[in-house]
Structures are given as C-alpha cells and as structure tokens.
Structure 1
Amino acid sequence: MQKDPSAEHPFDAFRALLAQMPSASMESVEAVRARDIKLTKPPGALGRLEEIVEWLAAWQGRPEPKLDRPTVVVFAANHGVVAQGVSPYPPSVTAQMLTNFSAGGAAVNQICAVNGAGLKVFELALNMPTKDITEAPAMESRECAATIAYGMEAIAGGADLLALGEMGIGNTTVAAAIYHVLYGGEAEDWVGRGTGVDDEGLKRKADAVRRAVALHKDFLDDPFELLRRLGGREIAAMAGAILAARMERTPVLLDGYVVCAAAAVLHALDPASLDHCLAGHVSAEGAHAKVLEKLGKKPLLDLGMRLGEGSGAALAIGLVKAALACHQDMATFDSAGVDNKDA
C-alpha cells in the first residue's frame, strides 16, 4: 500500500480497545435458558424472541436482563459531496430536521414515545461540512479520531439498550462509497435513491462514488483510513458509539443503510466487534440487505422503510421489550398449575 506522507494515524487507542473487548456472558445466557424451559410454552415456541432475551443477558452480563433506559441516539452531520448533485435536498435540511427533532415532530419522536425510549440528538459541526470526497479526504486524521471519541462519550448516561440513528443530507453517498471499497462490485451496486433522487441524480451519485474511490484507492487498506477519507462525522461518531457500547456491555440495535456503514468499518477491523449488535431492520435503501449479509446480521423487522433517523432501530425496541416481558412475566408450569410435557 502506498503511504500517504501527510496522514497522521491517531487511531491506536481505538485499536487497543478492539483488542480488549469484553465477551458475552454465557453464564447469563444459561440462566435465561434455565428459566425459559419452565415457562408455559413449548420450547422454542417464541422463536427469535427467545434469542433476543439471551442476547440481552449475554451483553448486559445479567442473568435477569432489564430494559429500564432504552435510548435512541442520533448523530447529524453535513457532507461536502452534496456539491456533486447527489441529493434533491440542500444541506440546510439537516439543521432544519434537528429543529424538528427538538420540537418532537419527527417520526422517530413518535416511535420513541410509543416504545418508552429516550432520544438524544447530537449535532456535529453542521456549518462545516466534511470535504467533498471526490476532491479530497472527508476529514483529517485527528479530526476523524476526535469524532470517534466524541461518539464514545456521547452515549454515556446509563442506557441499557442503545439504538443508533443518523441524519445528514448526502450521507447515503458516503455510505455507498464505504461499501464499494469494503465489498467490491460496481458503484451502481451500492447506491440507492436516498431522499428521492431521480434517474439522473442516481447516475450522478454512482459517478461520485466511483470518482471518490478512484481518488483515494491507494490509501484504503486500513479501515480507519477508509473512514476518514470517505466517511462522514456521523459515521465516525457512530463507530465510536458502537465501540463504547461494547466496552460498557450495552447491547446495540443498528438502524439502516448509513448506520451500518459505521458498523461495517468496525467489522472490517474485527468481525467480533459487532457481536453485541442486532440489526433492527432491513432498509429499502440501496443494498442494505446485501450489507447485512456481509455483516452476518438477520434483521428483526422488514417494513420497507428508508427514513433513517434511527426509526427502524427505535421500532425494534418495542420488539425487544415484548421479548423481555414474555421472559420475565409469563407464568411457569408450576406457578400456573399446568402440566409440563415431562409430567
């Protein structure tokens, strides 16, 4: 790989954390399974709901998992690549949508309210978009590292389940560029219509991805370098949030196409780095289904959504709550006076 003499590499601390990630608590999983076989149902009758409870227990490290503070965290950023005509909306919409979040008017606000989840939204220097990736690296190395660190700090506060979301005009283009590098194929394989580009816009989007990857191709073997050259601030922050959640033993629900770009960077560094994550849903955007296959994640929901905002992951919180309620509150055969099959 050609060495970029201008690049700095302040990512060593994150590499060290990846080498120190805690493992799943199998003792907690066994405790969940021991209770499950006593519940008034045939073994396995709740399907993936049973697996969800085991996942919660494994990563919370609790034989009796809890969901007292599920939290949706949305990171918002702007992108210089918008100048290439890749979105029908201007970058000003990012800030306007944040105002909408604050006023409680977005879809994710309603979903969080229904599911009893908290919502935190973080603005990442919207007035200073990342550089146009078709012309220059999106971020300097130290800027990217600082944004990853910010994402790690942003999730502090004791959430027992984290759902990640994003907002940023142009961010499906940078996500597509990341996937194109990691998974190959043609640029057209990874781009989608985002916020609704027409056919000509879709061509401009694929062309922007192709030109960006060609410009930076000699420097993309390191996933951190890929992130800082072709990513965005929200993607860097989400990568940090996923890593911090792992260190804090907080299970994570991934949202759609853009959130999974952050996950894909970590997965390229160490596939085990996503073991504490479930895919909340499969998006209708671009090639998200193919991305989930690459990440080894089977989505919990498939509703044809492509909104972003963390909306799909927020919806999946309700499913996780239902799974845990069944595990915690169903009667056992003994308490209900129901004959078990071994009786």
Structure 2
Amino acid sequence: MIRFISPAAFEAALSALPAPDADSRAAAAERQNDLTKPVGSLGRLEDIAVFMAGWQGRARPVLDRGRVAVFAGNHGVAARGVSAFPADVTVQMVANFQRGGAAINSLASAAELELVVVPLDLDRPTADFTQAAAMEEAECLAALNVGAAVVEDGLDLLLLGEMGIANSTAAAALACASFGGTARDWVGPGTGVQGDAFATKLATVDAGVSLHGDAATSAFETLRRLGGREIAAMAGAVVAARLAGIPVLLDGFICGSALAPLAAFHPTIVDHCLAGHCSAEPGHARLLVRLGLEPLLSLAMRLGEGSGAAVAANIVRAALAAHNGMATFAEAGVSTA
C-alpha cells in the first residue's frame, strides 16, 4: 500500500510521476486504426480507449473492477453561514450512503462499480481557514494517507467523490490560491446560497486566500491551509493511483479542486485523469480549463458524491467495449481499398 510518511515524501512523489506505457498506447492506437470503421469515426471513444491502454499498460484495457471512493469531511468555515445546510447534514448523508439511499448508490450500481464511503473525523471539523490553517501538518498528512489507502491492486479505474457541508467554499479557496483571480471568479451557489449568505461566502474565500496565500508555497501547504480532510483525501488518492498506474475519473468542482494545488506546482498530475463531467457550479468550467481537462459529459449536474463521474463511467465502458469487441478489417473480411 502506498503511504506518504511526511510532507516531503508527498512532494517527492509529485516530482517523480510515472508516465503511461508508450508501447501499450501505440498498440491500442494501431488497433483503433484497424477496426471496421473510418479512422477517428468514434471520436473521443477512441481517445479514451488509448488513454486507458496507456495507464493500464495493456493494448486491450478492461473495466472489470471500477471503484468509487466517496470521502466525507466537515469544515470549520461552515459556522460562518456559507452553506444552505448545517454541518449535521454531512453525518446524515454518510448514513444515507451506508444505507444505500443516495444518488451515488444507484448510479454506481448502474455503472457496475464498487462503492467505498470513507468518513474522516466528522465530529471534528477543520479549523476556520479565515483564522488559521484548516489543518495541522499531521492532520493533512493523515487525510492524504486515508485517500491513498483506497487505491488497491486490481483496480482498473478509480472514481472520486465527496460529501462535506461548506466544501464548495474550501474548493473555491483552493482554486483561487492555486490559479489566481478573486473569490468572485471561483465562488458559486454550492448548495444554493444566495443573498447575504453568498456575500459571506465571497468574503470568506477572499479572507482565507489573503491570510494564507503567501504561505501556500507547495501543493501540501496549499491543501492543508485552505482545504478539508475529504479534499486532501482525494488528492492522496489521485497521487497514489498515479504511482500504481491506475487511471482516475474525476467528479465535479470540489473533486477538481483537490488537484488544483497539485497541478499548480506539478501540471502533469492530471495526465492519468479523465474529467467525468462539467458541473453547473460556475467555477468548474474555469477550473477544467486551468487543469487542461475536457469533460466527457455536461448534464448540469451539481450534486457531488462522485455522481457525475459514475455516469461518465458508462462512457468509458462503451469506449472499451468498442475497442475490444469490434472486428478488424482483416477479421471481418472487409476491404480497405
């Protein structure tokens, strides 16, 4: 199991990211060109198959075992009134996940995916990042390792999701600190805030970035100062998956924000990731541009939980079904002339 023993070890991993297997990519691309269709006629489905081949290290990639990992955490800034729901809802929704009653339960089942739900110290919110760093060094490191622990041998694809009241505020702060701009460039309604609550959310993000911006000198420091435990866990899972050669399918704005500080210092961290969808949260489209990721879907979803990624997993399944199941011109006896 991959484990980060110190912040320096986490940063070292980010500085030595493995590349995809070039031979497997080339073989998959050659197969695509030999299948009974005009070259390029399946569009992004062809690209997905080649992408999966490179990261799985085989010319005919599979999706026999996909896992959705949903991390849950509570945020100190929730007490400032930045969400339409109280922090208690995080605990209640985790219970709903565990009973099988949430959207992600149904969507993961429909996509034939495992679902793992990981709550992180829900009785102990992070600190209010307008007053102090959200997490101490040890807390952030522990969250990174909780995320890394969901990466197991035998996974063909890892999907990430989250639950945490006020985490869209932390996500906006991470995006702002990582890629610049002001709170207004990144803050959206989240759970549906408007009016005074929206103004408070804007002020909270600006205050947090102002307090910590100069000290956010690494991916780890940015995460621990402005993130949350569930966001750090997703970051840990992304890095561990890269080290294990497992491709990752991302969910929405909050999931993407876990990559923002990583990508700001190490842009190639996104190379093993697919963006499942573009959410209705306004900052997500801007974040995807900064990450250099093109979403597979745009369905005006904004739920979180890994729900958009789970829907997009069906697109990945379709890409691999065509790649592996179609006949080549020679096999079908179809002339290429």
How would you bin the TM-score normalised by the shorter chain? over 0.9
Cα pair 2:175 2:261 within 8 Å, conserved: no
CA distance in 2, matches of 1:220, 1:20: 21
Following superposition of structure 1 onto structure 2, how do residues 205-224 of structure 1 map, counting pairs within 5 Å?
Answer: 205-224=201-220
Secondary structure of 2:282 counterpart? coil
Q: Deviations over 1:174-212 (max 9, x none)?
A: 111111112222211110000111222111100111111
- Does structure 2 retain, via aligned residues, the 8 Å contact 1:239–1:265? no
Task: Give how far 1:155 is off.
Answer: 2.3
Which residue in the other structure is 1:292 paired with?
Answer: 288
Give, as a single letter, the amino acid of the residue that structure 1 aligns with 2:149.
Answer: E
AA paired with 2:214?
A: D
Q: Which residue of 2 aligns with 1:54?
A: 50
Paired with 2:151 and 2:204, the residues of 1 have a C-alpha distance of 33
Q: Is the 8 A contact 2:179 2:260 kept in 1?
A: no
TM-score by length of 2: 0.96
- Superposition deviation, residue 16 in structure 1: 1.8
| Letter aligned with residue 81 of structure 1 | V
List per-residue Cα deviations over 1:311-330 (Å, max 9, x = no partner): 11111110000000001111
Contact map agreement 1:175 1:258 (CA 8 A) in 2: yes
Q: Secondary structure at the match of 1:278?
A: strand
Counterpart among 20, 23, 26 of residue 24 in structure 1: 20
Report if the CA contact (8 A) 1:149-1:240 is conserved: yes
- Whole-angstrom CA distance in 1 between matches of 2:269 and 2:216: 20
Structure 1 residue 157: deviation in Å? 4.9
Q: Unaligned 5+ residue runs, structure 2?
A: none
Q: Distance in 2 between matches of 1:302 and 1:169?
A: 24
Q: How many residue pairs are counted as aligned between the two chains?
A: 333
Question: What's the C-alpha RMSD, in Å, of the aligned pairs?
Answer: 1.3
The equivalent position to 1:85 in structure 2, one of 78, 81, 84, is: 81
Residues 11 and 219 of structure 2 are in contact (CA less than 8 Å); yes or no, is this contact kept in structure 1?
no
Q: Distance in 1 between matches of 2:116 and 2:146?
A: 14
* Matching residue of 1:242: 238
Tell me, yes or no, if structure 1 residue 145 matches structure 2 residue 141: yes
Q: Provide the TM-score with structure 1 as the length reference.
A: 0.94
1:42 aligns to what SS in structure 2? Answer: coil
Q: 2:251 aligns with which of 251, 255, 258?
A: 255
Deviation at 1:154, TM superposition (A): 2.3
Alignment of 1:262-341 (within 5 A): 262-340=258-336
Q: Distance in 1 between matches of 2:180 and 2:96?
A: 37
Q: Distance in 1 between matches of 2:278 and 2:41?
A: 24
CA contact (8 A) 1:73 1:155 kept: no
Unaligned runs of 5+ in 1: 1-8
Residue 191 of structure 2 corresponds to residue 195 of structure 1: yes
Hey, what does 1:76 align to over in structure 2? 72
Q: Deviations over 1:236-275 (max 9, x none)?
A: 1111000000011000011110011111121122111111
Does the 8 Å contact 1:281/1:316 carry over to 2?
yes
1:310 alignment partner AA: G
3-state secondary structure, aligned to 1:37: helix
